[in-house]
Amino acid sequence: MSTVLAVFGGYPGSRVTGASLMAWRTTAALAARGHRVALLTDSRCPEDLADADWPVFTSVAQLSGTAWSHPDYVHVYDLASPAHAELGRELAARSGATLVLTPASAPETWPDPALGRRVSAEATALFVLTETEATTLRSIGIPTDRIGHIPQAPDLAGPGDGAAFRARHDIGGPLVLFVGRHVPAKGYELLLDAAPSVWERVPEAVFAFAGPDEGEDVDAAFDRRADARIRRLGLLSDAEKHDALAGCAVLCLPTSADVFPLVFVEAWSCGRPVVSGRFTGCLEVVREGVDGLLVDHTPLSVASALLKLLQDDALRASLGAAGQARVDAELSWDQAAAAVERGCSMVVSEPAVVVASRAPSPRPHTAAPSGTTADALCTEQPSEAP
C-alpha cells in the first residue's frame, strides 16, 4: 500500500461518531506505519490530530490537480453516510484506484440499501468488525476471500479524571452512563424507563445521558421522566467523555441496531463493565458475564442487569478488568491498520510499496456545512489548496 485516500462523512454539527473516529484513527495509524495518507471528509477532526502532517480535503475540487487525484487506494468508511460512500466509489472508478470499504454500520441502518450493496459489490476488499457482519455481506453475494476483519479500538483524550467529573456534576451515588445518539434504536428511552426500578433498590443511583439529540421528541421523553437523578449532558468534549467513563460505575447502551459500538471499548479501557441491548452479532461484541451483560429490550431486563452490577462491587470490578485486559491484548488502532494492510495484500495481486515520505501539511481543517451531498462535494469551487 502506498497512497491511501480515506473518504467518509460527518454529521450535523460536525459531530464525530464511532465510524468517523475509526476512519480518522485507522488513517493516522497507517501514516504511523509509513504509508502516505489523505482524507476527504466533512467530519470534525479529533482535537489531537488537528496539526497532523497530511492533507484533509473537504471537496473533490480541492484535491483535483494534486497527487491525491490518483491514489493507490480509496478507503470508504461507513455506509450510513451514503453521499460520501457514492463519492468514494466514483473517485476510485475515475482514478483507477483500488476501492476498499469498511461498512461500519448495521445494514438495517443504511439510508440507501441499494447503494450499500453496490459499493460492497465493487469494493476489492471489505473490512468487518464481527463475523456476523461478514455473514451478512456474504448473504448479498460478497465472496469470503474479499472480506477481512478489523478490530475496534478506544478513542480517549486526557487522563480520565472520574472524581473531577463527579464533582463537577455533583454526583454522589453510583453513576449509570449512556453515551450515544438519542434515537430509539440506541435505547435511551428504555434506560429512562428502567431507572425507577433501579431506584427501588439503589435510590442514590444517578443516570447521565451524553450524546446528541437526534430522535423525535427527545425533550418530551426526558420531561415525562423528570427527576433530579437524571442528568442530560449533551455533547461532551473528548476529555470530558473520558472523565465521564472514568467516573461511572457502568456504561449502559441498550441498543438494538449496532455492529460494535466504539464506546464499549472505551468503557472497557477505563475498567468499566457494559450493559448492552441484544443486537445482531452482540455475542461477538460483549462476552456475556465476562466483560458485560446483555439485556432484552424491556425496562425490567435493563433494570435487572443494572441492579446485578450496582449491588455487587466484586462482579463489577471483575467484568471491568476483563474488558480492560481485552482492550490491551486485542483492540488498538495499530492492530486495525495492520489488518487493513493484510487484507489489501491478500486481494491485490501486486500491492503497492509502502513509502515513508509524507504528503504536504494541510491547511487548517474546516468542516463542510451539514447536509453536503456528493454532487455538492464534486462541484464545490476550490479554495486555497491544502
Percent of the chain with pLDDT over 70: 88
CATH superfamily entry for domain 162-330: Glycogen Phosphorylase B; (3.40.50.2000)
- DSSP assignment, residue 67? G
Dihedral class, residue 114 (left if φ above 0, else alpha if ψ from -120 to 50, else beta): alpha
> Do the two domains 3-153+332-379 and 162-330 of this chain adopt the same fold?
yes
Percent of the chain with pLDDT over 90: 75
Q: CATH class for domain 3-153+332-379?
A: alpha beta
The pLDDT of residue 17: 79
140 pLDDT more than 50: yes
Question: How far is Cα of residue 185 from the mean position of the Cα atoms in its chain?
Answer: 15
Q: Where in the chain are the domains?
A: 3-153+332-379, 162-330
pTM, full prediction: 0.83
Grid cell listed for 68:
491525491
For residue 71, the number of C-alpha atoms closer than 13 Å in the C-beta half-sphere is: 31
- Please report which confidence band the pLDDT of residue 384 belongs to, taking 50, 70 and 90 as the band edges: very low
pLDDT in tens, 114-134: 999 999 999 999 999 999 999
Question: How far is Cα of residue 101 from the mean position of the Cα atoms in its chain?
Answer: 15
Q: Strands 292-295 and 274-277: what pairing?
A: parallel
For residue 196, the number of C-alpha atoms closer than 13 Å in the C-beta half-sphere is: 8
Asked if residues 180 and 253 have their Cβ atoms less than 8 Å apart, the reply is: yes
pLDDT in tens, 152-198: 999 898 899 999 999 999 999 999 999 999 999 999 999 999 999 99
pLDDT in tens, 209-221: 999 888 779 999 9
Q: Distance between CA atoms of 77 and 81, rounded to whole angstroms?
A: 8
pLDDT in tens, 342-372: 888 766 543 333 322 233 333 333 333 333 3
Asked if residues 180 and 148 have their Cβ atoms less than 8 Å apart, the reply is: no
**What is the arithmetic mean of pLDDT over 243-258?**
97
- Please report which confidence band the pLDDT of residue 13 belongs to, taking 50, 70 and 90 as the band edges: low
Q: Distance between CA atoms of 281 and 15, rounded to whole angstroms?
A: 26
The pLDDT of residue 343: 86
pLDDT in tens, 143-161: 999 999 999 999 898 899 9
